Amino acid sequence: MRSGERMAKFYITTPIYYINAVPHIGHAYTTVLADIIARWRRMAGDDVFFLTGLDENSTKTVEAARSQGFDDPQKYADWMAEKWKRVWEILCISNDDFIRTTEERHRKNVQELFLCLLEKGEIYPGVYEGLYCDGCEAYISEDELVDGKCPLHGTEPRRVREENFFFRLSAYRDALLRHIEQNPDFITPPARRNEIVSFLQRGLKDVSVTRRGATWGIEVPGHPDQRVWVWFDA
Ligand SMILES: [Zn+2]
């Protein structure tokens, strides 16, 4: 880099991992690849921010805590977080930060974002009626089922009716398609871009972003009976 030139900002993150088990070789593979890219970009003179961390607000955390004999999922999460951090230390991973979604800084940001979106009408209250797969921790549509079962988990989804909050995802379809068309390198490789484009062309549905009656996860501001859906918070 010549003097006077601004350093290019480069951000890279691994997925933030579920803590229902200790890291396996697949997690190590992903994290080492991200580390290689981060180190290369630093050597090339970029201003790099490399993140990894843990996605802790899943109901899988509660189940795993119970099966390991923990009464308090938070204690289990703290115990697991040390194990995960230790593995990245052993592998000399050069991450700049390690985020845990049960941390106060994350909780605060999620609640602020939620309120901001609610104020703008991007999140709105509604009623969800349909099928829910506990394994996916997600609603599943009738046409995704194979022989009446979730193709991923082989279990029958539950029929549920819930009052909760929805994110107006459908409103973003055209803007996303336009953005991807105008910026061909936005998603690489091209096969993945085409996959996303055809997914968008089929249309987007608004997505429920809160869970009523859940006790683990980030509280919905002003609605203590609801928690933010783990996929939305992470
Ligand atoms: Zn499933």
Task: Give residue-wise pLDDT tens across range 145-185.
Answer: 999 999 999 999 999 888 899 999 999 999 999 999 999 99
Residues 136, 214, single domain; the answer is yes
**24 Cα to the center of ligand 1, angstroms:** 22
CA distances from 161 to 126, 147, 219 (A): 11, 22, 20
| pLDDT the model gives residue 56 | 97
**136 Cα to the center of ligand 1, angstroms:** 4
**85 Cα to the center of ligand 1, angstroms:** 29
Residues 124, 141, single domain; the answer is yes
Interface confidence, given as ipTM, is 0.97
Residue 187, burial from CB neighbour count under 10 angstroms (0-12, 13-18, 19+)? middle
Q: How confident is the model at residue 2 (pLDDT cuts 50, 70, 90)?
A: low
Better-predicted residue by pLDDT, 2 or 89:
89
**146 Cα to the center of ligand 1, angstroms:** 11
Q: How confident is the model at residue 12 (pLDDT cuts 50, 70, 90)?
A: very high
CA dihedral 10, 14, 220, 56 (to 10 degrees): -150
| pLDDT the model gives residue 119 | 97
Q: How confident is the model at residue 70 (pLDDT cuts 50, 70, 90)?
A: very high
**67 Cα to the center of ligand 1, angstroms:** 21
Residue 177 lies in a domain: no
**45 Cα to the center of ligand 1, angstroms:** 43
**89 Cα to the center of ligand 1, angstroms:** 33
**137 Cα to the center of ligand 1, angstroms:** 7
| pLDDT the model gives residue 3 | 52
**211 Cα to the center of ligand 1, angstroms:** 17
Residue ending a domain, among 70, 85, 102, is 102
Instruction: Return the ∠ at Cα 146 (arms to 155 and 144), rounded to 5°.
Output: 95
For the chain, the average pLDDT equals 94
Tell me the mean pLDDT in the region 124-149. Answer: 89
Given a cut of 80, whether residue 6 has pLDDT beyond it is no
**153 Cα to the center of ligand 1, angstroms:** 5
Domain range enclosing 41:
9-102
Residues 112, 222, single domain; the answer is yes
Strands (E), 121-157: 123-133, 138-140
**59 Cα to the center of ligand 1, angstroms:** 14
Distance CA 177, CA 136 (A): 27
Residues 126, 65, single domain; the answer is no
**Three-state secondary structure call for residue 156:** coil
Residues 144, 218, single domain; the answer is yes
